Amino acid sequence: MSFNKICFTQTIIGVFFACWALSVSAQNNYHEREDVRTWINNFAERENINPEYLSHYLAGTQKRERILSLIEAPIKTPIGWYEYAPRFLNDNRVNEGASFWLVNEPHLDKAARFFAVPPEIIVAIIGVETYYGRNVGGFTVLDALATLAFDYPRRADYFRTELEQFFLMVVDNNLNPVLLKGSYAGAMGIAQFMPRSYRHFAVDFDHNGKINLWTPADAIGSVAFYLYEHGWQRDGKILSNAVITDESFVSVLPLIDNGLSGIKSWREWQRLGVALSEPDETISDDENLALIMLDVAKDTPAYYLAHDNFRVIMRYNKSRMYAAAVTRLAEIVAAKHRRYD
């Protein structure tokens, strides 16, 4: 083949791939997709937002395969509490929690006064969520939410709602949507709020005219307000150690589905053969409780009665092990803090 023919052929191939790349880019670019344009127009009309504003920011947003691979990762064999807990109940996280408390004590004390949530619970939630702000996530929130809203059919409705809430949030707070970083699922800040929670429960706790959950003050106040709004009870119990009488295992264990039961009154639990481990502890017969199981070692279950405040923590994250880690970390950090006083 002559040199000229080779050059001509390479030129044609180059043009083909350039056109193909532009075509793929247009298909992947969200603001070019018909379904996304429909969403933009409907959302803009419903919330009285300029559709060009939405289209402008979605123009630089494309499907991120890394986000999809993370959220679609195969579910691993569930780990036990004895494997889960050390991630959060280690010396480093406890020491960092005590330091975080000392540095932010005025904000924590204010949150306790305003919302009745103890400082140690707020510290523990922030500690479990982001290691006191060390791990807030490195994904562009807009990329994460758009990818999951438009290319993750299983939960598209949920993430489209969160994407809407995100745009309303940045408009309300005069933020640049492409600069905000968070988790691959779109959770933001030290407290890891999703956009809907950000809009409904985030507070300007340092009164500087802006809500910024990447700062400790606003994160502390917002965690406390979130728990308060979901029913936190001042000075309420969280977990009580329980035992099940030998003759009652057959009737009680089937009630604990994946480690967590439904709600029953303390009177009903006693009738089923559940008792308190601490002889001096008392619970009102009419108090509603859940029974949970945590395997403290392999093939070694322990049982606890979950009070309302434990279930409030589960509103933050529905995992019983998450709520137990927060509860236990709070206890240990509080003990460490008392030694500093």
- The catalytic site residues sit at 129
CB 265 within 8 A of CB 285: yes
- H-helix segments, 174-301: 195-201, 216-229, 249-252, 266-272
Can you tell me the distance from the alpha carbon of 122 to that of 115, in angstroms, rounded to the nearest whole number? 11
CA distances from 197 to 34, 147, 174, 227, 229 (A): 29, 20, 17, 11, 11
Among 338, 116, 64, 132, which residue's Cα sits nearest to residue 224?
A: 116
- Beta-carbon contacts of 337 under 8 Å, excluding residues fewer than 6 positions away, are 98, 101, 102, 119, 120
Q: 194-223 burial, b if ≥16 CB within 10 A, otherwise e? A: bbbbbbebbbebbeeeebbbbbbbbbbbbb
Q: Which amino acid appears at position 42 of this protein?
A: N
Q: Nearest 10 degrees: CA dihedral of 113, 102, 98, 230?
A: 20
Question: 3-state DSSP call for residue 137?
Answer: coil
- Beta-carbon contacts of 290 under 8 Å, excluding residues fewer than 6 positions away, are 260, 261, 262, 263, 264, 305, 306, 310, 311
Angle, helices 51-58/141-151, rounded to nearest 10 degrees: 100
Among 162, 112, 128, 184, which residue's Cα sits nearest to residue 330?
A: 128
